[in-house]
Chain A
């Protein structure tokens, strides 16, 4: 167990290191340099290059970048003068994290009971309706969901505010838009895993000794049926995070996803790099945690 965890931690660190290296060289190996689009003379460009250490050989820059990153310093933003990238991330990320966290919670709270319900009511109209809706909802692109919600609830019926995150009502539409795809996916996952374990001996035993169905479900079935959902938590974090790029744009939410997209159009290369590495680190960490959680939850797995 300890060996497995340490191997997973080491491989996550190696992956992150490779991502950092690849990002660094992809952003710096290309011709032109970051100040190509600025309409200034060569002298100014040289000055700016010296200021940001871009006149040094590439390996020195790479070494410096790694050294600074260990100290938590991701460099300075070219566009938002006077702010370090770490400061910007610390300012913007909590907004995205709160919204994403709410979306993940909502998805779990809605989908797990619905999945169980569909499994218990197998092949009845209830099950069919749930399955049809979830199959369709799974393939709806998140930006189409949010635009539809925005138009119907925000502009046509005018029941919800459309911009920003000032009041609790503001969270409703972005959270629904972010949570819909994962919800539909988990419903199907939960249903099929509930059906899978129905034939298991320990459930037959539990029922045979006369336990009420509610206890069978909570004490015996749920613990095992929920394991596939745990493994999906990693991909779900990815989906919510990439979904936030477009949803923050649509609902004008000042989070890191929107800032990331804006810095791409604004060609703020250190910001793009810093954010990419930050996102990658979060997702690699999330997958690591899920993997470890999975091995704790399912003692049948031997390492």
Chain B
């Protein structure tokens, strides 16, 4: 049954009646009669309703910078994941007699002092960067959302403890925490699994990122949930006896999903940058494995004579970070227009 003011709009006939008659006679039979076909037709909406995702997709595809960045990311992904399959060399293959070649047809990015093809090594390095990005997004999505929603929904001492913990992690720079975590884990990994393809330093970087990067997301999700918790629909769900888990899953998280995706996307360039930073300082990928940072590091000593060895990895780092940042901005504008600067 529609509330009275809407029925009034519908029929246009409701009049205020004075209390001169008994209640049963005050009833205007037309108010509660079913609507006629004409009335139903007039209620049909003019346009197909669009869902949240259709709306976001439309906004995103109108954003040229974001679309171009998305295209660049796709191209880089093809370069990194399909490129090594098509290349005639592997990243660790040392080609005798073609050391220190300037970029040419057989080796478009040149070769290093051991005769390894830089193009293939750059592809492998890009693959590591993207893998770091994907891995971090997953971790951030899972751990951050779980912790944040638990803290926000349950509140109390659990919330307090989690937030104090986040504050402490916040007041010390990421790089320092990651370095300390990495050193202690590397020693453990070295003794537990001596022969890893990725190398213990790289694996410990992955683990350190997983232990650190959920903090941002947890804070954001907690904030969103604290706001959304006050909504009437949550109260209604509670009154109907829904469990806390169901309320979080069905009512709170779907309403925060835009902000969650945007936060996760912004974490990707940070993670990729940090990995290349660590590898550049010699704390990440070790030979023969290459990441973009370690490639740049390897070429530092020969920069005066072989600048192209630095150029390609450095340009790729720049391109990846820039594209992901712009893509993140586009997603933010599309998914969560409230956040726009």
Contact = CB atoms under 8 A, between A and B. Distances in A.
Contact of A15 (B168, B183, B185, B281): B168
A144 B318 contact: yes
A140 interface: yes
Contact of A19 (B168, B269, B273): B168
Nearest to A25: B184
Q: Is the interface of B mostly helix, strand, loop or mixed?
A: helix
Contact of A30 (B176, B184, B281): B184
A95 interface: no
Contacts of A269: 183
Interface stretch (A45-53, A217-225, A238-246, A293-301): A238-246
Interface string B265-281: 00001000100110011
B264 to A, nearest CB: 18
Contacts of B179: 264, 272, 276
Interface stretch (A54-62, A66-74, A117-125, A278-286): A278-286
Contacts of A130: none
Contacts of B167: 15
A249 B300 CA distance: 10
B244 interface: no
Interface string A238-264: 100110011001100000000001001
Interface string A262-278: 00110001001000100
Interface size bracket, B side: 35 or more
Interface in B228-283: 269, 273, 276-277, 280-283
Contact of A31 (B188, B273, B304, B325): B188
Interface string A141-175: 10110011011000100000000000000000000
Given A147-B314, A150-B303, A264-B183, A276 B191 contact: no
- Interface bracket on A: 35 or more
B295 to A, nearest CB: 12
B175 interface: yes
A15 B283 contact: no
A279 B173 CA distance: 9
Contacts of B307: 151, 155
Nearest to A234: B171
B77 interface: no
B317 interface: yes
A19 B280 contact: no
A185 to B, nearest CB: 13
A150 B188 CA distance: 38
Given A26-B184, A242-B173, A250-B300, A139 B325 contact: yes
B187 interface: yes
B165 to A, nearest CB: 9
Nearest to A140: B318
B312 interface: no
B172 interface: yes
Contact of B172 (A19, A30, A250): A19
B72 interface: no
A245 B175 contact: yes
Interface in B154-200: 167-168, 171-173, 175-176, 179-181, 183-185, 187-188, 190-191
A38 B218 CA distance: 42
Contact of B296 (A23, A143, A155, A283): A143
Contacts of B185: 30
Nearest to B281: A261
A147 B310 contact: yes
A90 interface: no
Given A23-B180, A140-B318, A155-B304, A31 B280 contact: no
Contacts of B81: none
B321 interface: yes
Contacts of B310: 147, 151
A143 B325 CA distance: 18
B339 to A, nearest CB: 15
B89 interface: no
Given A143-B280, A249-B281, A283-B173, A276 B317 contact: no
Given A15-B168, A27-B184, A36-B187, A141 B318 contact: yes
A29 interface: yes
Contacts of A246: 277, 280-281
A15 B175 CA distance: 17
Contacts of B317: 141, 144
A217 B277 CA distance: 41
A1 interface: no
**Closest 9 interchain pairs by CB?**
A26-B184, A155-B304, A242-B175, A30-B187, A238-B173, A30-B184, A30-B188, A32-B187, A144-B314
25 contacts: A12-B171, A15-B167, A15-B171, A26-B180, A30-B184, A31-B188, A139-B269, A139-B322, A140-B318, A141-B273, A141-B276, A147-B296, A147-B310, A148-B314, A150-B303, A151-B304, A192-B341, A242-B176, A250-B300, A261-B282, A272-B183, A283-B171, A284-B171, A284-B172, A287-B171
